[in-house]
Structure 1
Amino acid sequence: MTVFAGMPNINNATVANDEYEVIGETQWQTLENSGDEQTIKIYGFKHSKLRTALFHTVCILLCGLPYFALAYYPWFNKFKYIKCSLKTADVICVTDAEGLFKTEQVHEIDLNLSNHRDNRLRYFIYQHSRFIWLYDSGIFINVLALNEKVTIGLLMENISGINKRQQNELMKLYGTNSVEVEVKSYWTLFVNEVFNPFYLFQVFSIILWSLDEYYQYASCVFILSTASCMLALYQTKQMSINLHKMAGSTSAFTVTVLRPTRTGREECVVNASRLVPGDVLVLPPDGCVMPCDAMLLTGTCIVNESMLTGESVPVMKGPPCVSPEIYSTEGHKRHTLFAGTHVIQTRFYGNNQVLAKVVRTGFYTAKGELIKSILFPKPFDFQFYKDAVKFVIFMFFIAAIGMGYSVWLYVVRGSHVGTIVLRTLDIITIVVPPALPAAMTAGIVYSQQRLRKNKIFCVSPPRIIICGKLQVMCFDKTGTLTEDGLDFYAVIPSLTEKKFGECVVEVGALPVSSPLVQALASCHSLTSIQGELKGDPLDLKMFEFTQWVLEEPGPENTRYDNLTPAIVKPKPAQGEDLQNLDNYDPFTMEIPYEVGLLRRFHFSSSQQSMGVIARVLGQPQMVYFVKGAPEKVAGMCNPDTLPENFSSVLNEYTSNGFRVIGLAHKKLDRKMKWVDAQRIKRETLECEMVFLGFLVMQNSLKPETTQVIKELHDANMRLIMVTGDNIMTAMSVGRGCSMVQPHQKLVLITVGQQQTTDSRPPLCMEVVGEGCPPKLSIDAYVLALEGKTWAVIRTHYPEWMPAILSRGMIFGRFGPDQKTQLVTALQGEELIVGMCGDGANDCGALKAAHVGISLSEADASVAAPFTSQEQNIRCVKLLALEGRCALSTSFAIFKYMALYSLIQFFSILILYNFYSILGNNQFLYIDLVLTTLLALSLGRAGPGPALTRQSPPVSLVALASILPLVMQVSLVLFMQIAAVYLLYEQTWFKPTQAEQILKWENTVIFIVTAFQYLIMACVYAKGWPFRQPFCANYYMVITLFTQAVFVIILLLCPWDGLANYMEVEVMKTTDKDQTMFRIYLLLIPVLHLILAIGIEASLSNSEKFSRVARIVRRRCGKKEEAGGDAARPLWPPHDRALVC
């Protein structure tokens, strides 16, 4: 069932039950989307001409409104179709895990495969993934599943490629090899943009204001909305263009592939977009950019994978040995060339070609999956956004009440229908202001600008707010908390007396011909590129210590000799002492002392080691050297060769933050030839080895690490280290940077020896530094564990996962997939999780986290919302500060806009009662000048100077938010009524029932409400603790001062021209009663300001409400808590059958 042994057999394809589930009579099905682990449901439908005609008829009768609804509610499309089985469906309706709905067309084409009976291919494409129909099984499967069980041996069988007919048919099956991103036209983007409810509501408001002759504000909103829309279109277009450039085009260049012929094979040049799985690529000697994912068959390659991994160090890749092992791109990275990566150089022996077999194409490649993760990001829910929607709906409900009241009022008065409609619809635009979304983004926009000045770039601005509620922050170690490079510290040789020797810091202290020096000089993946050594920083430091040189074969070396390897040799000054060489003969002094590197087994995260088969020139047998994690290397060695103090010496160095590498060697059988060395399995070599010693490297903390960790701790943020490094080193770094607090004890959880195959592996717990099991409550400890322990707990001890997730702090020896698992598990506990890493092995975790921060400038970092050009964790603190500031600002602006709406709502209803309404110039001043300037000034507030333990509130419907808001609304209404009451108490005032704007009721309400807008802005401009102090926001201070002066002038001494323009009563200097009334009226805003600040200061403290809520829950729910404690497993566990 694979293209690599012939043509895929679609009829007999089998699918694992845990991946594809068929329910009922195949009318619907669940399956997994590729690239992510999201489950989707698909339903079968058929087109119905009658239903389609009825649907369009209803849309026309409803003035096209359903068409607009389709943009946000695509499930309405189901009304056009008839439900049917998947077998007969011509439309597939897809629903993802988030409930999002989409319809996809089923395509049918001819497919002439030799083992495909029906000669028809049915498929649909969803998010660039192709799902094909299995006729025998009666289900759809991802086309990627056809090759998921292919073995390495099967891949390496046929190196002659496929013929042209097979390529054409396979192109029908897999599609073209393209990851091109469509750049939509401005018109298409415009149509998608204007279907946004926000813009539709603005269009409705502009039409309504124009009918009400409110032309000035309607024109301003139209201009601003048009500019905003054009800017959004431009930004969207630019993002599409940038993504399109990043994806590149495979149709722009050609590649060389092999085609089988009757006499053998021939080279053929084809367009890269026509590559299919099964093609055999011929890689040029001077390198290329890979157009697909391919597995190396022959030769070696030097590859720069920074585009995908963020790792700037080139890596060497070679072909795997033939084995029945199942091939996977993730598990066999060292043998796989990934699409988009740059092959710098290829190397071969003699006239052999460097060949690679295509295994994935198009959006199924690693690059394609990266592009898909950007095109279809994982949706996230944030309480603030959900509450904002609920609040807007509630405001519509209030508007409905106001509309009902105004209709009743004007009907009773016998007003014209047109007037009733205009005045009623006005209520909607007042209660739900069209400027609300724009105002709420002000804080985010300003935060993004400040982040950019700090060299932190954001591709998802809404996530800035989420930074304000970060609860858990995960850090990679190397390159994130510690320096990227390693410094050589010492070599500790193992002596024959089963003990370690003295630390060696100079290579001259070791015999140049000793196996330890040979291992240090040969066990690496270094390569020479343009005369400069390139490779892993650890390998570079190790090789520099030996003071040897590396010589690699060039074309002149390999043209006639197929077996010329790379060699390492000491510099001439070191090569004099050869007394300890085996089989030394004085007559052969002319033979140079060189070590040939015959085959390298590259380092992998899963194996935690690397090895090399080498041969000392003149020696009769080959030697296998290995270096890697000390625990891993110890397991390969003969126990008799391990020093008795192996564990204590290892713990001594790792607990002090050093990185320790184990070294070992093994002499191979003299009968082993070069061909045997290229075929032998690694597992065969890695046993009964001789331990050589430790290589100790120093990995120092970055200067900023400790201070930032302390500040994050003080901010009540939980910190986690998740690294692929040794657990002891990780714990030492955790102590060194104060991630583990001085008063906390570390409990190391390991897996004990399994007694029987049926029993669960026991967990061993030890307090680090004390050597005894934990005895106290879990509150006194934090936990540390390795990746293998994590895997055992997930599988055998799921009941302990909550304790691990709540108290785990140090996670060592974690692979890339386990990092992602940890982040996802923490999110499953309803926590807001961040991840900070350099991008090398963290891409999955960075994408999965709510807040992913990449310290890499590679293209892979665009899959993370944030990228920092400063390579340290200071960016985490800055993001937390800006996030809290943006969240607090958005919260304040939302409440201010809500109060602004209700202030105007009350004032309009009061004026309706007195046969008046605000004038157009009054509306214009309030809507465009006063509230707009104040909302923008509110957004200008910068972040506070330091992080605090308290975090901003996130829920708009929490008691701490609702209660002060209700009190403020009540106070607003009371003050407006009090002002009118004060007016009616004046002896000189004579009310009229004439429908007009210029009257005392209007003037009083307009002046008082103008002050109320200023008061509410002042109340919500509170700085501490999440924003700068009020006085530091110069924009707000200037705006409040100038507008307050202007309103006071309108109240106390407006000149005739100003009074006429603003449609307020003119000041009569001869009337002392009116003058005193204006002074008394000024006291109402003063009293309002004092009461409003008091309400906010006393009732809006979320911490107070949280404490009260905890007390209430504690008193009312003791029985429930007791029951919960009884059901919760004890920690630490005391079952000796499970714990050692």
Structure 2
Amino acid sequence: MLNLRPDEYEVIGETQWQIIESSGDEQTINIHGFKYSKLRATLLHTVCILLCGLPYFALAYYPSYNRFKYVKCSLKTAKEICVIDSDGGWTTEKVLEVDLNLSNHKDNRLRYFMFKHNRFIWLNDQGVFINVLALNEKLTIQLLMENMSGINKRQQNELIKLYGTNSVEVEVKSYWTLFVEEVFNPFYLFQVFSIILWSLDEYYQYATCVFLLSVATCMLALYQTKQMSINLHKMAGSTSAFTVTVLRPTRMGREECVVNASRLVPGDVLVLPPDGCVMPCDAMLLTGTCIVDESMLTGESVPVMKGPPCSSPEIYSTEGHKRHTLFAGTHVMQTRFYGNNQVLAKVVRTGFYTAKGELLKSILFPKPFGFQFYKDAVKFVIFMFCIAAIGMGYSIWLYVVRGSLIGTIVLRTLDIITIVVPPALPAAMTAGIVYSQNRLRKNRIFCVSPPRIVICGKLQVMCFDKTGTLTEDGLDFHSVIPLRSGEKFGECVVEVSSLPVTSPLIQALAFFIQGQLKGDPLDLKMFEFTQWILEEPGPENTRYDNLTPVIVKPATSANGSMQNLDDFDPFTMEIPYEIGLLRRFHFSSAQQSMGVITNVLGQPQMVYFVKGAPEKVAGMCNPETLPENFSSVLNEYTSNGFRVIGLAHKKLDRKMKWVDAQRVKRSNLECDMAFLGFLVMQNSLKPETTQVIRELHEASMRLIMVTGDNIMTAMSVARGCLMVQPHQKLVLITTGQPQTNDSRPPLCMEVVGEGAPPKLALDAYVLALEGKTWAVIRTHYPELMPVVLARGMVFGRFGPDQKTQLITALQGEDVVVGMCGDGANDCGALKAAHVGISLSEADASVAAPFTSQEQNIKCVKLLALEGRCALSTSFAIFKYMALYSLIQFFSILILYNFYSILGNNQFLYIDLVLTTLLALSLGRASPGPVLTRQSPPVSLVALSSILPLVIQVSLVLLMQIASIYLLYAQPWFKPVEGGPDVEQVLCWENTVLFIVTAFQYLIMACVYAKGWPFRQPFCTNYYMMITLVTQSVFVTVLLLCPWQWLADFMEVEAMSTADSEQTNASLSDCEKFSRLARVMRRRCDKTAEGEAARPLCVPSHLQLC
């Protein structure tokens, strides 16, 4: 589970760093040793004090910078560990020490540190830190089953020091603690800076409104965080609230002891009550059987049967042996025991290392995912800061040239930052995601990681499990195909009355019911077909032994008569025909089969029955018992979409007793068996499957089926639901035996139904292969992996680990991969996928970030629609907020040139009314009705995104400059008389730019409210329409005919004032013109009198003067 990288090299001296890789939680950390330095700490505090304490805020939000108080040292002597996780995050953790007295632990002093609820302990002999989970990674099943008496109290106390308490409690912080953490957030620090700046600039109204909104937002965030912590705390529960019964070794044997569940440690032996319980830890079943509801963890709605494993040297793992493991948080519905024996389970994991703890850790520390949109958003904000720096430089130059006061220069310069980088940007960005999450919740789709909704918008490859996902959960019985002779199958049987009750085939069908009439759908249908009765163990049916837990018998035997017994020996008729189950071997994905040891009442010989994949069962049977048409009949049914189960049996040695049956190895039983026949089940498609598959295909989404079922059945279902298109050829890749030990296994390809594949166009074929072929290609033909990943569509007989391998390999092709399953055996794949969807009745599952309570794949379509809507909405809001900042930025710089600024109420209206309402209304857009081939853009810095933005910014700036030039062209206009500290609000420059920019905000909102193809038309967004209409009317009133009180409140000039000024200017011009005309007439008259005697040739137009 853990690989210690330094062990690969020769350690010279004491190492100062180490890399720890954990395959359990897919976490890689890099640790460095540090120790406290008084000199460095003093220097750091001195610098912080000299800078008015500002660095303390950075240290609070970036704890990694606290490492400057330390100096590097060896890990052996380190007091602090600097942890760098796989995502580049830095954290410093204290090294704790405690006395430890364990026989298998060489050191009497335990050194460890905690990171994300994982405990890493120091091994002095190796000179490394390891995850404490690694101490038990080499334990074998045989070793775990040896000690069934548990541990004593002293060992328990010491192991608690080593492993910690069995607690997964989530801390619920006080409001004051949450408030302090929230205040140190850069967003709120920027808000505080802005409020202080506006207050110094006498923007009291705006500063007050922002302060009240910030307080309201902060309180809402605190409340939501508190409620989330409370919900997680309730989900985690408290192990200290109840007690459990454990075994303690004594001199006389062992005794039961009641302890608090929080004090359980690995090695404790639990005594499970008959009426069930909620598991407080992960434990391996030692004796007895349990029926467990695991829906809370895996999403598997069907209760599962758990039983003890066979004692073997195989290394135990909770995932590989989950059929023998009781997971923390699951509900043990019922326990069964043999005779007076108790149902025992050995604790293997506690605390946050349990399955329940892993679920909580996945919620508390969600796996980061690199998404281009968020990366580009950060780059764009940095770019906006650069623009702000240019604007700050220009404003400094402008005010210095004017000779303004230093205070005015500082205020106007810093004001540029609050304009270019709006404080409302983070809130506006999350609006679309929040609305999408609410809509998903109404559709019974729950999400534990809201940012992943945006990733759904770029879903390119979608993988599906088959049973319970594409097809119905339950199976319908179709027929039984018995073996009539040693050479061929007989006719299929659809009625149980045609089979003898004593037939081994009917006995095999009757015994694969999981202990009670609740369990695997396949087992239920098999048992219903037999029409037999299942009896619980009791005083009246313990003729075999006190150890027999379950009895099955024909329904007619309960009434005292039995049909179809013509061939039965009459001497045995005195004994009722009943069969007891002595031992059950549970189904496993690796073996693809399960078996039971049975005994007919009155018969001295036990019989072993097995069911499973036909190929696996055939491998267990004597070849002479296999019919000649085995493969042809199997292919006939599987190619038509039926699920085929192989059945076989074996009579055991007469000398075998019950004790021997409990100890015998499964491998000794599953050989030289006699084949019985096929059980054929029908697994019909869910009604929604075909339509959703068709719509996903039309959206150019690549679809893949990955299942543990037979490859022929999988291909048939893929054809039936149109996952494989009618025009596509399905090419099956199989593998054979290598000719020599050193040669690679050969690969064969054939077009299903046509034989050898001809040369096909790339888009005319898809590939199908089994899990063993996948393993061969990964190992021996890595050069073919790109082809398999590009053209593979049907993957059958895939184990849980192979499903995860497929998802990971597809992600390596740089595509967004989704996985949809029921969480039964595909938890790893669901967790590994970018978009994992678990079909479960629970609200949250350890299996996936998304959980759909609707048990069909319609949720995939809904998630894709909401994802595209959320992604396009996030793009629109981000661009709108960026344009809003630049519009205000340009208008402010232009006003600075004309000795003017925006008024307080104008800032208030633009920032808190107009743009905020428009941004929130943009987020209200609903998803489009259909999935289209076109997908939303994902990059903010792509040319297709940048070019329209540049054009829009250019037009915005051009219109603002043109409006000022047009204003200056008016004959009545009087510019503001400048001065070093003149900043006039009520002027025509201010009014014109305020009205123009207000219309620009409205127009840009209309531009980015475009609906098709990812959102509904913006006319259907009623919030948007109401906002646009009301704000447009308001701005138009301000432009044309504002009431005087409104004009005074908004600090704008009214158009009536402009009309009067223009009229006065016109009258003044007429008066000046008339005065000039009179003066010219007098001069002409005087000239005419003085020169009357002299004749002149005067032009006619001058004579008129």
Q: TM-score, normalised by structure 1?
A: 0.90
In structure 2, the CA distance between the partners of 1:1029 and 1:116, relative to structure 1 (3 Å rule), is: closer
Contact 2:169 2:238 in 1 (8 A): yes
Give 1:72 shift: 4.2
Match of 2:688 among 700, 704, 707: 704
Q: Structure 2 matches for 1:677-716, cutoff 5 A?
A: 677-716=661-700
Counterpart-to-counterpart distance in 2, 1:337 and 1:907: 67
Aligned twin of 2:412: 423
Which of structures 1 and 2 has the bigger CA Rg?
A: 2
Aligned twin of 1:1023: 1011
Is 1:592–2:576 an aligned residue pair?
yes
**Which SS does the other structure have where 1:319 is aligned?**
coil
Aligned twin of 1:1111: none
Give 1:957 shift: 0.4
Give 1:514 shift: 1.1
Aligned twin of 2:1043: 1055
Aligned twin of 2:1021: 1033
Match of 2:191 among 187, 193, 202: 202
Match of 2:994 among 1006, 1018, 1035: 1006
Is 1:245–2:234 an aligned residue pair?
yes
Contact 2:925 2:1015 in 1 (8 A): yes
Q: Structure 2 matches for 1:186-225, cutoff 5 A?
A: 186-225=175-214
Counterpart-to-counterpart distance in 1, 2:928 and 2:134: 52
Deviations 1:817-874 (A, max 9, x none): 2222222222222211222222222332222222222221236526532222222111
Is 1:758–2:746 an aligned residue pair?
no
Is 1:440–2:453 an aligned residue pair?
no
Counterpart-to-counterpart distance in 1, 2:337 and 2:902: 85
**Which SS does the other structure have where 1:688 is aligned?**
coil
Q: Structure 2 matches for 1:1052-1091, cutoff 5 A?
A: 1052-1068=1040-1056, 1071=1059
Aligned twin of 1:281: 270
Counterpart-to-counterpart distance in 2, 1:19 and 1:728: 48
Deviations 1:1010-1048 (A, max 9, x none): 111111111111111111113222222232223223222
Unaligned runs of 5+ in 2: 1066-1105
Is 1:955–2:939 an aligned residue pair?
yes
Aligned twin of 1:90: 79
Is 1:842–2:826 an aligned residue pair?
yes
Give 1:989 shift: 2.0
Is 1:576–2:562 an aligned residue pair?
yes
Is 1:902–2:851 an aligned residue pair?
no
Contact 1:59 1:67 in 2 (8 A): yes
Give 1:654 shift: 1.4
Contact 1:132 1:143 in 2 (8 A): yes
Q: Which amino acid aligns with 1:835?
A: M
Match of 2:766 among 782, 803, 810: 782
Contact 2:842 2:851 in 1 (8 A): no
Aligned twin of 2:922: 938
Counterpart-to-counterpart distance in 2, 1:981 and 1:862: 64
In structure 2, the CA distance between the partners of 1:1045 and 1:300, relative to structure 1 (3 Å rule), is: closer
Aligned twin of 1:1086: none
Q: Which amino acid aligns with 1:498?
A: E
Deviations 1:710-757 (A, max 9, x none): 111111111111222222111111111111111111122222112233
Give 1:20 shift: 6.0
Q: Which amino acid aligns with 1:833?
A: V
**Which SS does the other structure have where 1:861 is aligned?**
coil
Give 1:516 shift: 0.8
Aligned twin of 1:132: 121
Give 1:624 shift: 1.0
Counterpart-to-counterpart distance in 2, 1:28 and 1:1075: 83
Give 1:548 shift: 0.5
In structure 2, the CA distance between the partners of 1:1042 and 1:246, relative to structure 1 (3 Å rule), is: closer
Contact 1:315 1:525 in 2 (8 A): no
**Which SS does the other structure have where 1:156 is aligned?**
helix
Aligned twin of 2:219: 230
Aligned twin of 1:825: 809
In structure 2, the CA distance between the partners of 1:192 and 1:818, relative to structure 1 (3 Å rule), is: farther
**Which SS does the other structure have where 2:574 is aligned?**
coil
Q: Structure 2 matches for 1:51-70, cutoff 5 A?
A: 51-70=40-59
Q: Which amino acid aligns with 1:540?
A: L
Deviations 1:366-408 (A, max 9, x none): 2222222222211112111111111111011101111111111
Aligned twin of 2:1082: none
Counterpart-to-counterpart distance in 2, 1:929 and 1:317: 61
Q: Structure 2 matches for 1:444-455, cutoff 5 A?
A: 444-455=433-444
Q: Which amino acid aligns with 1:903?
A: I
Counterpart-to-counterpart distance in 2, 1:42 and 1:152: 33
Give 1:638 shift: 1.6
**Which SS does the other structure have where 2:344 is aligned?**
strand
Aligned twin of 1:1118: none
Aligned twin of 2:600: 616
Aligned twin of 1:794: 778
Aligned twin of 1:264: 253
Q: Which amino acid aligns with 2:593?
A: S
**Which SS does the other structure have where 2:258 is aligned?**
strand
Q: Which amino acid aligns with 1:351?
A: N
Q: Which amino acid aligns with 1:855?
A: L
Counterpart-to-counterpart distance in 1, 2:619 and 2:1048: 93
Give 1:564 shift: 3.0
Give 1:561 shift: 4.1
> Which deviates further from its counterpart, 894-903 or 570-579?
570-579
Give 1:784 shift: 1.6
Counterpart-to-counterpart distance in 2, 1:542 and 1:225: 64
Contact 2:5 2:20 in 1 (8 A): no
Aligned twin of 1:748: 732
Counterpart-to-counterpart distance in 2, 1:966 and 1:108: 60
Q: Which amino acid aligns with 2:705?
A: M
Deviations 1:970-994 (A, max 9, x none): 1111111111111222222232324
Contact 2:446 2:844 in 1 (8 A): no
Aligned twin of 1:301: 290
Deviations 1:438-488 (A, max 9, x none): 122222222222222222222222222111111111112111111111111
Q: Which amino acid aligns with 1:906?
A: F
Contact 2:579 2:600 in 1 (8 A): yes
Contact 1:111 1:172 in 2 (8 A): yes
Counterpart-to-counterpart distance in 1, 2:463 and 2:34: 45
Q: Which amino acid aligns with 1:226?
A: V
Deviations 1:1066-1097 (A, max 9, x none): 233794895999xxxxxxxxxxxxxxxxxxxx
Match of 2:526 among 521, 526, 542: 542
Is 1:162–2:148 an aligned residue pair?
no
In structure 2, the CA distance between the partners of 1:863 and 1:635, relative to structure 1 (3 Å rule), is: closer
In structure 2, the CA distance between the partners of 1:667 and 1:117, relative to structure 1 (3 Å rule), is: closer
In structure 2, the CA distance between the partners of 1:918 and 1:772, relative to structure 1 (3 Å rule), is: same
Contact 1:167 1:276 in 2 (8 A): yes
> Which deviates further from its counterpart, 1068-1077 or 785-794?
1068-1077
Q: Which amino acid aligns with 1:1031?
A: C
In structure 2, the CA distance between the partners of 1:1056 and 1:146, relative to structure 1 (3 Å rule), is: closer
Q: TM-score, normalised by structure 2?
A: 0.92
Give 1:189 shift: 1.7
Unaligned runs of 5+ in 1: 1-13, 1078-1140
Deviations 1:281-334 (A, max 9, x none): 222222222222222222222222222222233322222222222222222222
Counterpart-to-counterpart distance in 1, 2:894 and 2:723: 59
The CA RMSD over aligned residues, in Å, is: 2.3
Give 1:491 shift: 0.9
Give 1:908 shift: 0.8
Counterpart-to-counterpart distance in 2, 1:1024 and 1:521: 58
Counterpart-to-counterpart distance in 2, 1:487 and 1:459: 35
In structure 2, the CA distance between the partners of 1:560 and 1:253, relative to structure 1 (3 Å rule), is: farther
In structure 2, the CA distance between the partners of 1:17 and 1:102, relative to structure 1 (3 Å rule), is: closer
**Which SS does the other structure have where 2:483 is aligned?**
strand
Aligned twin of 1:971: 955
Aligned twin of 1:113: 102
Counterpart-to-counterpart distance in 2, 1:672 and 1:860: 48
Give 1:673 shift: 1.6
Counterpart-to-counterpart distance in 2, 1:397 and 1:1070: 39
Percent of aligned pairs with the same amino acid: 85
